Chain A
Amino acid sequence: MSKISISDLELHYSNFNALKNVNLEIPEKEITAYIGPSGCGKSTLLKSLNRMNDLIEGCKITGTVLLDGEDIYRGMDINLLRKRVGMVFQKPNPFPMTIYDNVAFGPRTHGVRSKVKLDEMVEKALRDAAIWDEVKDRLKKNALGMSGGQQQRLCIARALAVQPEVLLMDEPTSALDPISTSRIEDLALELKKEYTIVMVTHNMQQAARISDNTAFFLLGEVVEFDKTEELFSMPKDKRTEDYITGRFG
């Protein structure tokens, strides 16, 4: 069953047509990977799923993106949308505050005031992000003192704290070492039991390792979308084959 349903999506940055007639069904509680060369539109599409492109001047979007059947561009409250669809970026970006306050930031914004409730939410989010054991004794320390891998897991915890349904990850491990990368990948596999994950990655092996579905983008178009195993063993389109085998261009 589709969690997100994208139909006839077109996106222009002024005169530049960044997404062309995108149609994709993103299954619930699975990991969907977007791959493709730089500038192909994969991050643009990811950002379109929680309306982060709306902030950019000259951005024009047509078509529909349905979240559980509701059109996110027509009538949905943007704060509610971003609560339901969280995002983790390429570079870990914790706020310059304590570990606890980073994770509590979202729930507080959404009106949670009870200390007991906040403590519960922070612990659950940190546990779900597989970082609780490493930080439970230093929750009041500044988050900027953590390692890159820990900061990224903290950012995932921060996204999870508002109990989203979908987690968007834009190259979440490209700034991390192999051990931290492996932790994030294991975490993504664990998280998909509860969340729908959409991940942009330049690391083809990562897409092959952890995603259930993969979409290959080129020049703003979805060239091929299939089960990951199928796409990486028997791609149907020659452009996909050339890209994933490294013979592109």
Chain B
Amino acid sequence: MVRSRFDSQLEQLDVEMIKMGALCEEAINASMKAFLENDDVAAQIASEKENEIDRKEREIEALCMRLLLQQQPVARDLRLISSALKMISDMERIGDQAADIAEITAFLKDNDTKSKVHIRDMGIAAIKMVTESVDSFVNKDMKLAKSVMEYDDVLDNLFVEVKQELIDLIGKDKANGEFCIDLIMIAKYLERIGDHATNIAEWVEYSITGSHVKMAMEEGNK
């Protein structure tokens, strides 16, 4: 088997990407638990996960640099490694946003209003997108990557829905104002997580096909 060492290093990269993706899911899960159940321990976990995600980003960066140095990859190998380098930046931002959500929950007064808006659904959608984007990378699954890109609309629509719900709540009672502003921030963070998952899926597309959907669109507009 030629290049077996290189292939085993690429498998190692897949494993590390799965681990980083799993950390992102855990961070979002913990921040949502902190939000929905006023769970301080969960908020603390989200913050710790963010630190772990940052460390994992450094580790994967180092692995990619080593692969570039030692193996001088070309073609699909080069696309895969350069995509991984871009994807970990998005995953690192996902970790930050999960921690930001957890941070807001610490100041959030308990209020049953939060169960009346669709933030929980946004959390579920965001986790689904993150999981599937990383899975699409590891399995080189173009169909799954496309479905992640499309699913971003679901999350965006939920955000619009939540925004309207919060406007209605403020309209009913101005005393809800501060609380609703905190909630819209959380919703916005979840919406951004969806954008990062979409970026990951776009890099998966580049890794598989050699063309990047955004770049292709920009070229088309020229």
Contact = CB atoms under 8 A, between A and B. Distances in A.
Interface residues of A, number: 14
Contact of B6 (A244, A246, A248): A246
Given A233-B210, A234-B210, A244 B2 contact: no
Interface in B1-38: 2-3, 6
B79 A233 contact: yes
B3 A247 contact: yes
Nearest to B2: A247
Interface in A223-249: 232-235, 241, 244-249
B210 A246 contact: no
Interface in A192-249: 204-205, 208, 232-235, 241, 244-249
Nearest to B211: A234
Interface in B53-88: 72-79
A249 B77 CA distance: 17
B75 A246 contact: no
Contacts of B211: 234
Nearest to A246: B3
Contact of A233 (B2, B3, B6, B78): B78
Interface residues of B, number: 13
B7 to A, nearest CB: 8
A235 B78 CA distance: 12
Nearest to B1: A247
Contacts of B78: 232-233
A245 B74 contact: yes
A205 B210 contact: no
Contacts of B79: 233-234
B76 A246 contact: no
| Residue among B3, B73, B74, B211 with most chain A CB within 10 A | B74
Contacts of A244: 74-75
B74 A232 contact: yes
Interface in B186-219: 210-211
A248 B75 CA distance: 14
A208 B75 contact: no
B75 A241 contact: yes
Contacts of A248: 2
B210 A245 contact: no
B35 to A, nearest CB: 44
Nearest to A231: B75
A134 to B, nearest CB: 31
List 10 A-B pairs, minimum CB-CB distance, nearest first.
A234-B210, A246-B3, A232-B74, A244-B74, A241-B75, A245-B75, A245-B77, A235-B75, A247-B2, A244-B75
Interface of B: 2-3, 6, 72-79, 210-211
Interface of A: 204-205, 208, 232-235, 241, 244-249
9 contacts: A232-B74, A232-B75, A233-B74, A233-B79, A234-B210, A234-B211, A245-B74, A245-B77, A246-B6
Given A233-B74, A233-B75, 7 more contacts: A233-B79, A234-B75, A235-B75, A241-B76, A245-B76, A247-B2, A247-B3
